[in-house]
Structure 1
Amino acid sequence: MHWKPDRSSHLTIHTQIIEWIKSRIDRGDWLIGTKLPTQRHLAELLGVNRSTINNVMEELKAAGLIESKIGSGTYVSNNSWNVLLSKSQPNWQQHIEMSIHKANYHTIQLINDYEQKEDIIRLGTGELSPDLLPSKKIEESLKEIQLDGRAIGYSEPQGSKKLRRILSDYLNKRGIQANIDNILIVSGALQTLQLVSLGLLEENSIIFQEAPSYLNSIHTFQSAGMNMIAVHRNAELKSTLRNIKKKKQSLFYCSPTLQNPSGGNWSMEERQNFYDTCKELKIPIIEDDVYHELLFEQSLRPTLKSIDDSGLVLYLGSVSKTLSPGLRIGWVVGPEAVIKRLADIKMQTDYGSSAISQEIVSYFLSSGMYETHLSDLREKLKERAEFTERILAENFSDIATWKKPKGGFYIWLRFNKAIVNKQLFLNLIKRNILINPGYIYDSTDYHHIRLSYAYASFEELETGLAILKEETEKYFC
């Protein structure tokens, strides 16, 4: 041991010795459980008074770095490395708590965690079963796609021009007139909401929505300082919007086709009246239409975008619910100036969506494989929905109600009592059942479960619903 305190240093002898002992522990020279030299010996080695060493030891004990054992001596504490780690690192917890983006609800964090467990039965997930994804066809498509260096480099700000041309033709079939300058390729429809919150709205803007709403299960707008307000589409809609809007910026988020989580569909009259109201009040609309291709009965019910004659509607589409969520490809259609603004922000955040994913989606849409896949997928989802409904009719008709699903993934199951609380959610997790409770879509809703028939196998649906019945009927005894 050659070190001695520097008496010419601006640091006190006391401080220098403390930092020296800390460094010995931090470097592993003195491991956990190491017995330290006696105070007398340390004083002699360091050339200081024993009282100085005594004060040093008391401070290190108070900090949790060392501990005394009666009749044995002084040792490096079991907690010493944790103490040193917390002292040497910045206070990340404070950074986390003071950050702009809000944390997910604890229930949603648990859902995200437990969805990764293989033994869990997922009764609420918004994702297709791996068995329903066209994995083989996607693999085959890679053999047909020709990729040159330019094609797999960074695409232009609005996304692959090839894909945008194909989407323009595809959207035209739904009555949506959009040239390539009106289309932005995004990494899933959710990214559009993030881009809108950053690029089109000022702080304290109002986001109107229906309740229950998928928006409440994420914090995209809330973290940007927006005010979320649920309204009802009734005869008082116009006066309600006018009174709340006042002088603040606002927009209305909606899903007229297969709304998430309720699965509801607006009539043609409801769509037109809603559009006319927002047009009169100059309230922009975000139309989330990611489920429309999964309607069991393919109607000609128009999108809001198809009746938009004033550039009021931003239209969201995606292949995440139909082809593959892992491709991370969606699109937004809107006025050219808005699209360019969102594209600029997207380039600042991720520099463009995957070039290879865009090529795969282009191939599926242009080859006709996509529509063939959709036709097959709708039939399989319809079979799953009917299977789930039979189980509900046999086991839940005395304690819950629901509407026959018209497509998509979900049945909005309503229990006759307000039993869908955090405790039920946790009780089901203990039995390896994962649900999406209604309160994550509407904080006041303790009646509903978003029941998905799209992910779990037929056997898992049967097993999972049997356990759900066992746990829920306890509340009705």
Structure 2
Amino acid sequence: MFTTDWKPNKSSSVPLHKQITDYIKEKISNGEWTIGYRLPPQRTLAKEFEVNRSTVVTAYDELIAEGLIEGKSGSGTRVVNNTWNLLATNPPPDWNSYVKVGNHKPNLPTNQEINQAEFIPGIIRLGTGELSPNLIPSTMMKEIFHQLSYKEISYGYEEPKGLLPLREQISNYLNTIGISASPSSILIVSGALQALQLISVGLLHRGSTVLTEKPSYLHSLNVFQSAGMRLTGIPLDKEGIQANLIQQYKKQQKAALLYTIPSFHNPTGTLMTVERRKQLLDNCQQEQLPLIEDDVYRELWFDEHSPKPIKAFDKHGLVLYLGSLSKSLSPGLRIGWIVGPEPVVEHLADIKMQTDYGSSSLSQWAAVEWFSSGLYSTHLNDVREQLKTRRDFTLDILNKYFSDIAVWEKPIGGFYIWLRLLPTLSMRKLFEVALSEGILLNPGNVYDNQAEQYLRISYSFASLPNIEDGLKRLSKIVKTITK
């Protein structure tokens, strides 16, 4: 999806097509649109610039005539030259070719569209998996930073594993949920996503297979695939990942490790039972299959505490445990942690130092203050209540507008409702039509290419009026498409 802050000035004496031509020339000459760059389709550019398509056609024709761009049937219009190249003997590098051969794969196309559309003014984000700005404790956050201004804190780089006072606070916190971990076995990371990236490059061989739930948030990322890994999904039921299939899948796929989100799973919202957690750990121990436990949603329970983490039952150092403040407090702090055997944590810390030389020291000190002051516990109580209210509101709206066209389960925590649409339809068409009407969806096939009839509905981000408006209009779109 192409977006830009620039628009042609319709009150200017300079013709619109000339303004567009000059804009594109500037992009090319500045090196922003390099040789090989694929220009947006004419219709897309016309819509973005709020002009007739014929105006864009005229601009493209002039650029083609000047030798800057070239249009080929079936492959679109691409930059083939730049203004400096027309004057120089040696052409500049084709950066597009470098992009194509880079190790890290680009995001999935739908994910790229979602990431860009999230910043369209007024868009209703029905699938966004983060706290609403109204749920982020901005007043408390200001108080935290105010308190820090009176304290002696460091602003330089921290030691490889992260700020010791923060690791001590996290060690104390982990003890309250059944995990015994000394500060030396904890690594501070910039969110759980960085933890996955460190694991992918630091602990796995190219060609390794990673087992995970089917569907799974992991399928929406290319972090493991970019490191040469393959993902294989194991089916879920109401108790969580089907642990009895571990031996079969490990043998067939020669799996290197298993990744799971046991608490309020992303995207299904499933809460793994205590019995299933123990069974999963037992089976992984029998198969000598290391396990990554991504537990970033665990504190977002509504009526009953989440079961103890799988890591709490781990006596053999089999589990790498991931936690974060991004889902429960603020994504902007970028504070998460990895808990595991010390040699593994030290190795990952060494890799982290090679990549970013440590997470923000200021964010780490703020996190220390959140834990030590007791404000984090206070905030969690408040955010649970608000999320529960949002869940109940969303379920009421779904019952009102989707009872005849979809089915779903009632989540008991987290952010998500895994909605299965009953009419058979094109998810791509639904995504595009909804987006054209200002509604952004997270289609199920982002998390499992076979989940064509599913949507991840989030009650955590959009305002309640927007949730109602968005779902009401979405139900009409579904019914229109399937007529």
TM-score normalised by structure 2 residue count: 0.80
Shift of 1:242: 3.8
1:475–1:82 Cα change, 3 Å: farther
Check if 1:220 corresponds to 2:223.
yes
What are the within-5 Å matches in structure 2 for residues 343-382 of structure 1?
343-382=349-388
Shift of 1:462: 1.1
The separation in 1 between residues aligned to 2:375 and 2:151, in whole angstroms, is: 23
Tell me if 1:241 matches 2:271: no
Match of 1:129 in 2: 132
Paired AA for residue 239 in structure 1: Q
Q: 1:393 to 1:152 in 2, by over 3 A?
A: same
Which residue type is aligned with residue 84 of structure 1?
L
Rg: which structure is higher?
A: 1
User: Which amino acid letter does the alignment assign opposite residue 338 of structure 2?
Assistant: V
Q: % of aligned pairs identical?
A: 47
Quote how far apart the aligned CAs of 1:98 are: 1.0
Write the deviation string for residues 264-283 of structure 1: whole angstroms up to 9, x where unpaired: 01111111111100001110
Q: Give the equivalent residue in structure 2 for 1:388.
A: 394
The CA distance in 2 between the partners of 1:467 and 1:428, in whole Å, is 9
Among candidates 197, 200, 205, match of residue 200 of structure 2: 197
Find the residue that maps to 2:320 and give its secondary structure: strand
The equivalent residue for 2:267 is 261
- Residue from 402, 411, 419 that aligns with 2:425: 419
Which amino acid is the alignment partner of residue 293 of structure 1?
Answer: E
How far residue 341 of structure 1 moved from its aligned partner, in angstroms, is 0.4
Counterpart in 2 of 1:327?
Answer: 333
CA change 1:359–1:408 in 2 (3 A) is: same
- Per the TM alignment, residue 299 of structure 1 is displaced from its structure 2 partner at its CA by 2.0
Report the residue type matching 1:241 in the other structure: Y
Q: Secondary structure at the match of 2:337?
A: strand
SS for the counterpart of 2:418 is strand
1:304 aligned to which of 297, 307, 310: 310
Partner residue in 2 for 1:8: none
- Work out whether residues 298 and 306 of structure 2, in 8 Å CA contact, stay in contact via their aligned partners in 1: no
Q: In structure 2, what is the Cα distance between the partners aligned to 1:271 and 1:203? A: 29
> SS of the residue aligned with 2:456?
strand
Decide whether the 8 Å contact of 2:243 with 2:283 is kept in 1: no
Distance 1:423 1:62, change over 3 A: closer
Q: Structure 2 matches for 1:30-429, cutoff 5 A? A: 64=67, 81=83, 84=86, 88-146=91-149, 151-232=154-235, 233-234=241-242, 236-246=244-254, 250-299=256-305, 301-419=307-425, 421-429=427-435
Match of 1:474 among 469, 472, 480: 480
Q: For residue 323 of structure 1, report the CA deviation from its aligned partner.
A: 1.0
**SS at 1:326 equivalent:** helix
- 1:5 aligned partner: none
In structure 1, what is the Cα distance between the partners aligned to 2:409 and 2:268? 9
Q: Take 1:374 and 1:62, find their aligned partners in 2: how far apart are those partners? A: 62
SS of aligned partner of 1:128: coil
Q: Which runs of 5+ in 2 are unaligned?
A: 1-28, 30-63, 69-80, 236-240
- Give yes or no for the alignment of 1:462 onto 2:468: yes
The residue identity in structure 2 corresponding to 1:297 is D
Q: Report the residue type matching 1:316 in the other structure.
A: L
When normalised by structure 1's length, the TM-score is 0.81
SS at match of 2:420: strand
Letter in 1 for 2:476: E
Match of 1:444 in 2: 450
Assess, with a 3 A threshold, how the Cα gap between structure 1 residues 83 and 417 changes in structure 2: closer, same or farther.
farther
> Is residue 406–residue 421 contact of structure 2 (8 Å, CA) maintained in 1?
yes
Closer, same or farther in 2 for the Cα pair 1:235/1:270, shift >3 Å? closer
**Could you tell me how far apart the structure 1 residues matched to 2:319 and 2:82 are?**
59
Amino acid at match of 1:258: F
Cα distance in 2 for partners of 1:470, 1:270 equals 39
Deviations along 1:353-404, one digit per CA (max 9) or x if unpaired, are 0111011111111111001101000100111111111010011010100011
The 1-side partners of 2:315 and 2:82 are apart by 68
- Alpha-carbon distance in 2 for matches of 1:290, 1:360: 19
**What is the aligned partner in structure 2 of residue 453 from structure 1?**
459
Q: Label 1:147 to 1:212 Cα distance change in 2 as closer, same or farther (>3 A).
A: farther
- State the distance in 1 between where 2:296 and 2:87 align: 47
- Conserved? CA contact 1:195–1:342, under 8 Å: yes
On the 8 A contact 1:420/1:449 being kept in 2, the answer is no
Q: Is the deviation greater in 185-194 or in 458-467?
A: 458-467
Where in structure 1 do 4 or more consecutive aligned residues deviate above 4 Å?
146-150
- The alpha carbon displacement at 1:89 in A equals 2.2
Counterpart secondary structure, 2:210: strand
TM superposition shift of 1:147:
6.8
State whether residues 189 and 316 of structure 1, in contact with CA within 8 Å, keep that contact through their aligned partners in structure 2.
Answer: yes
Structure 2 CA distance for aligned equivalents of residues 200 and 397 of structure 1:
46
CA RMSD of aligned residues (A): 2.0
The one-letter code matched in structure 1 to 2:188 is I
Q: 1:419 to 1:88 in 2, by over 3 A?
A: same
Secondary structure at the aligned position of 1:239 is classed as: helix
Answer with 411-420 or 98-107: which moved more.
411-420
1-side partners of 2:139 and 2:108: how far apart? 37
Q: Secondary structure at the match of 2:167?
A: helix
Cα distance per residue 1:404-440 (max 9 Å; x no partner): 1111111111111342511110111100100100010
Distance 1:420 1:159 in 2: 47
Q: CA deviation at 1:146?
A: 4.9
